[in-house]
Structure 1
Amino acid sequence: MNIAVDTRALAGTLPAQGTPGPAQPSEPAHVIRDDAEAIRVAHDFAASIRAGASERDLAHARPLAELDRFSQSGLWSINVPSAYGGPEVSYRTLAQVVAIVAAADPSIAQIAQNHLGIVAAIRTVSDPDQQALLFAEVLRGTRFGNAFSEKGTPRAAEFATHFTDHGDHVIVQGQKFYATGALLAHLVPIVAVDDAGRAWYAIADRNAPGLTVIDDWSAFGQRGTASGTVLIENVRVEKSHLVPAWKAYQELPRLDGAIFQIIQAAIDAGIGRAALDDTIAFVREKARPWIDADQARASDDPYTIQAVGDLTIRLHAAEAILDRAGLAIDAALPDHDAALVDAAKIAVAESKVLTTEIALAASNKLFELAGTRSTLAEHNLDRHWRNARTHTLHDPVRWKVAIVGNHALNGVAPPSHAWS
């Protein structure tokens, strides 16, 4: 089923209230065998959700049934290491999987983004006992949400949410926003700082006392992500579920930021693919040629042909550089070599630039090529632009361009944080 949103909550006319989390799956999730199966399963799942994407967007629906199928398909455990029973597919494949799903419904793809990033972080910074515990949860079908970002701090990397140590557990206090996935998660990783100012993932049960997820996401795009507010009031988290996130950015050269970012880039690539596919379909089936084209079909208009060719080339370039970024992560993953890690970060930055550009260009050009009829509400084609414009705001690509340029020109290494 889909969960419909009460628009009074979006408008702020209801008191703050939480929505209970979903039940744990009754059956263990499927475990994918290899990269080829991951791609096949992604295409099958994407085909099953594509037809309902527009309706879910219009209804601001929360896609619980679709998400259950997604996580039970095995696609949420594809980067669990093989040593712990997971598929450990390449990050090239993981990015392709995300792009395939995002082309069908980018909100559903984005809900998986932080889960996959947390799985990568656990591999990077957790000790073997914690890895065994948490990876077993993921392989069973448990979904991680996120309670990372805060909207009241001076900078994105500063956190007011904190915890106090109580021996075998910690108590977490704070408030989060942009909490993609928390509403429909089973466990919610909360970024909280200790007394030394170091950031940890405190992974709380979705229905833990004091943890309140408010469905107040009102953005015009990525509506189905439910990326609203999380209130954290004296929430207990066992030490077994306290993951030292800070180690990924303060110790050996790590890839955590690049992995989070390549998933974001893959979502944008999927949005661009969907917008171009819908442009081509509309021009072929519904658009009329311009008077001066002297053609019987809009698809024979020479300027339309040129524009679609340009977008196709740009999409293929973005997809190719996304592939290259995945290969760079795979090359750097085994031994944390600083030069290879930097090369992966640069490749991911380049992919973020090109996927952002094609998502925005294709979703905007759609209306120029398809004509006035394409703006009718019945088609809901503006969802592509709304999704692209909203999702590409996660991190400014002007800084990605600067990072690439400074590395090429001056040999300056890319920064080490969750956005790089």
Structure 2
Amino acid sequence: MGGVAVAVVPTHREGVTCLDDWDGFGQRFTASGTTVFRAVRLSPDEVVTAAEVEARPARRSSPFAQVYLTAVVAGIAAACARDAVALVRGRRRNFFHGTAPEPRHDAVLQTTVGRLSADAYAARATVLEAARSLAAAQADGSVAAMERAALDAARAKVVVDELTTRAATGLLEAGSASAVRAGAALDRHWRNARTVIAHNPASYKLRVLGDHALNGTPPPVGSFF
């Protein structure tokens, strides 16, 4: 065939070996482990050449994966908000310099939990808007529509990453020393979020978004857009 091509094959096919060697400190199921291919047989309908991709640029599949992962991160923000409520409600003692005897009535902690609630809401709303853009693009099928969906997925990722990282830190603020007990494992939210986020750095998304805004440059066709 010659040239660069992409093939999609089932993991159970002879010659495909998936190694469970991913040792990230957070989210486990990111498909980040090693996959070995040895003389794997391919059928013509499993192969897409680079020329075919360039000839039909509207066939972007990456925005779906990007929105999916951003939804995972938004879910972590929701978990932070939920756990903060349970944590503060369960505390019976407050700091001697707190604004109320019980933490749940402390104005400072109420503000912290309120911020978490707002961040979780904003993260969810952002993902839903990106999903609507993707659904509209898939129905339209045009190059322009798919490019808009890719850009919207990038915008959503940047915003949700920031909201969720802040929420994961805010959860620890809401619980103070009670939140950092090893048994509670509340640090998992920060670790999980950062692990997913690190697979696709927002800095590259921002550059592409800026280039498009200033120069009309379309987003690249590839697994990250």
TM-score of the superposed pair, with normalisation by structure 1: 0.49
Q: CA deviation at 1:254?
A: 3.0
Aligned position for 1:332: 137
**Quick one: which of 244, 257, 274 aligns to 2:48?**
244
1:260-409 equivalences under 5 Å are: 260-286=65-91, 288-409=93-214
Contact preservation (8 Å) 1:200, 1:244: yes
One-letter amino acid of the counterpart of residue 340, structure 1 = A
Aligned position for 2:5: 198
One-letter amino acid of the counterpart of residue 360, structure 1 = T
C-alpha distance in structure 2 between counterparts of 1:292 and 1:394, whole Å = 42
C-alpha distance in structure 1 between counterparts of 2:130 and 2:85, whole Å = 28
Q: CA deviation at 1:245?
A: 6.7
Structure with more helix by fraction: 2
Pair 225,392 (structure 1): closer, same or farther in 2 beyond 3 Å = closer
Contact preservation (8 Å) 2:4, 2:49: no
Deviation string, structure 1 residues 8-56 (Cα, Å, up to 9, x no partner): xxxxxxxxxxxxxxxxxxxxxxxxxxxxxxxxxxxxxxxxxxxxxxxxx
One-letter amino acid of the counterpart of residue 292, structure 1 = H
Pair 288,224 (structure 1): closer, same or farther in 2 beyond 3 Å = farther
One-letter amino acid of the counterpart of residue 361, structure 1 = R
TM-score of the superposed pair, with normalisation by structure 2: 0.88
Structure with more strand by fraction: 1
Aligned position for 2:33: 228
Contact preservation (8 Å) 1:290, 1:301: no
Contact preservation (8 Å) 2:11, 2:17: no
Pair 225,317 (structure 1): closer, same or farther in 2 beyond 3 Å = closer
C-alpha distance in structure 2 between counterparts of 1:300 and 1:328, whole Å = 41
Contact preservation (8 Å) 1:262, 1:348: yes
C-alpha distance in structure 2 between counterparts of 1:361 and 1:350, whole Å = 17
Structure 2 residues not aligned, in runs of 5+: none
Contact preservation (8 Å) 1:204, 1:235: no
One-letter amino acid of the counterpart of residue 6, structure 2 = A
C-alpha distance in structure 2 between counterparts of 1:341 and 1:319, whole Å = 22
Aligned position for 1:105: none
SS at match of 1:277: helix
1:138-177 equivalences under 5 Å are: none
Deviation string, structure 1 residues 77-128 (Cα, Å, up to 9, x no partner): xxxxxxxxxxxxxxxxxxxxxxxxxxxxxxxxxxxxxxxxxxxxxxxxxxxx
SS at match of 2:7: strand
Contact preservation (8 Å) 1:204, 1:237: no
Pair 249,360 (structure 1): closer, same or farther in 2 beyond 3 Å = farther
Pair 410,260 (structure 1): closer, same or farther in 2 beyond 3 Å = same
Deviation string, structure 1 residues 176-209 (Cα, Å, up to 9, x no partner): xxxxxxxxxxxxxxxxxx63112222x1351x44
Pair 285,410 (structure 1): closer, same or farther in 2 beyond 3 Å = same
One-letter amino acid of the counterpart of residue 33, structure 2 = G
The CA RMSD over aligned residues, in Å, is 2.2
1:45-124 equivalences under 5 Å are: none
SS at match of 1:354: helix
Q: CA deviation at 1:259?
A: 1.2
Q: CA deviation at 1:306?
A: 1.7
Contact preservation (8 Å) 2:19, 2:35: yes
Query: Greater RCO between the two (CA within 8 Å, min separation 6)?
Result: 2
C-alpha distance in structure 2 between counterparts of 1:295 and 1:251, whole Å = 63
One-letter amino acid of the counterpart of residue 415, structure 1 = P
